[in-house]
Structure 1
Amino acid sequence: MSDEVHWRDDIASLVFPVTGHGAICAVHRGAFRTLLGTEPTPDACLGHFRRFEAAFRAAAGAKIARKGILPGTSLHLTSRDVARKLLEDAQIANGE
């Protein structure tokens, strides 16, 4: 499914389909700037997504559940949405 992930210059965002939701999720360049700590290129954003794909997908699912986003409605993730899942993954990996 990660081959459906791509960069959209028109909205300066990485987009990916949300499995089972029927919509796309966008992550703006600004969110990646915060996550990466540098001015990101589209390739750097795609690489970061692929490295932490499970956390991005979990963050989308959590936001859909938390906000009650209806199926077929596109959404976006902030750096905080993604960082929350990355932190949870790190804590689980460390046995916390």
Structure 2
Amino acid sequence: MADGAETLWRPTIDALVFQPPGHQGFCAVHRLAFRALLGRTPLGRPGTPEECLDFFAAHRPAFERAAAAKIQRRGLDVAASLHLTSRDVARALAEVS
């Protein structure tokens, strides 16, 4: 997956995976994180892979900002992989509100 390449759903880890711009590692967002982002209750069903991919596509800049912030905050190596929580993404979404 090259920088800015296609976003993938990885069923083996039940997560959306993308590569943040300027970063060689991968960023994963678990399907359960999307439950909060999609406005579902904690006991409600998580989004389907298609719903998660659609939400990501509609809010990609926020996901990229969240990844960049986490990379910087944690001082991650350029090749390190990471995962985002719903809180990471919610903070980035709130920045543009």
Settle same-fold status: TM greater than 0.5. yes
TM-score (normalised: structure 1): 0.88
Unaligned runs of 5+ in 1: 91-96
Q: One-letter code of the match for 2:60? A: E
- Compare the two structures and name the one with the higher helix fraction: 1
Distance of 1:19 and 1:37 partners within structure 2: 27
1:70 alignment counterpart: 77
Tell me, what secondary structure is at the counterpart of 1:4? Answer: coil
Q: 1:93 corresponds to which residue?
A: none
Aligned residue pair count: 89
Equivalence for 2:37 = 35
Q: What root-mean-square deviation, in Å, do the aligned CA atoms of Structure 1 and Structure 2 show?
A: 1.0
Inter-partner Cα distance in structure 2 for 1:48 and 1:62: 20
The answer for the alignment partner of 2:67 in structure 1 is: 60
Partner Cα separation in structure 1 for residue 90 and residue 17 of structure 2: 17
Letter in 2 for 1:26: A
Q: Which runs of 4+ in 1 moved over 2 A?
A: none
Corresponding residue of 2:88: 81
| Counterpart residue identity of residue 44, structure 1 | E
Moved more, 70-79 or 33-42: 33-42
Unaligned runs of 5+ in 2: 41-45
- The percentage of aligned residue pairs carrying the same residue is 53
Where is the strand percentage greater, Structure 1 or Structure 2? 1
Q: In 2, Cα distance between the equivalents of 1:45 and 1:4?
A: 14
Paired AA for residue 90 in structure 2: A
Q: Distance in 2 between matches of 1:41 and 1:32?
A: 9
